[in-house]
Amino acid sequence: MFNVTRRETSPESLNEKSWRGKDVAEALRIDFLDKCYLCESKETLSFNIEHFDAHRGDDEKKYEWTNLFFACARCNNFKGTRANILDCTDPANDALRLIKHTPPTTPYSQTIIIEPMSDDPVVIETADLIREIFNLDDTGNRMVAGAYLRKKVFRRYYELLRHINTYEDDYSLPRDKDLALEHIKNLMSKKHEYSAFLRWAVLDSPELAGLVEDFID
């Protein structure tokens, strides 16, 4: 999960009692960095304008700008009407460090480890939800989609590993080591797909984290 900086001015469609307007979708897409806020898949072809707190017919919640989130259809289905979920748009919440994302070790890993780093019930429930999104295989659809998702995470993680290996390799040329470090710094940005996994791989490595922590936004 990553922190989102939401624009203060709400899209005009919300003033006209419409949350399905193009301006709403575009504003959410940009503010959420083109990523589902739960799984961090980027440029998904099937996304939902999600009501973070289910409106249940309440017009105030239905058209409230701060209650609208950018989510892929799959994650929206997993979340449903769950209420006790970490608000990644609240600057008081360090969304990255409150939930540890451990990347898969191979593209065929059947389980991804997601751990709450706090005993706050909201953090625990959010970690449970994200764990289900990546791992639950109680239906054929979820089994296949979950495998695809874990493989996509590994591909992004492998990109980070390539640069770390170049940086650490005694046989690498100095210029290649410098370039590898620049790549690692770049991959610490939350703009990247599955950024929580990439950044936790570094946070779990104190020596490496000391070199690039200023780039973890």
- 166-197 tens-digit pLDDT: 999 999 999 999 999 999 999 999 999 999 99
Q: At residue 57, does pLDDT exceed 90?
A: no
Burial 29-68 (b: 16+ CB within 10 A, else e): eebbbbbbbbbbbbebeebbbbbbbbbeeeeebbbbbebb
Host H or E run for residue 22: helix 22-31
pTM of the model: 0.95
Q: At residue 45, does pLDDT exceed 80?
A: no
Report pLDDT for 44: 79
Q: Which tokens in the block code for residue 120? A: 């706050």
With beta carbons less than 8 A apart as the criterion, state whether 99 and 115 touch: yes
Query: 54: closest CA among 85, 81, 84?
Result: 81
- 175 alpha carbon, distance to own chain's centre: 32
Per DSSP, the residues of 164-209 read HHHHH-TTS-HHHHHHHHHHHHHHTSTTSTTHHHHHHHHHT-HHHH
pLDDT band at 53 (very low <50, low <70, confident <90, very high): very high
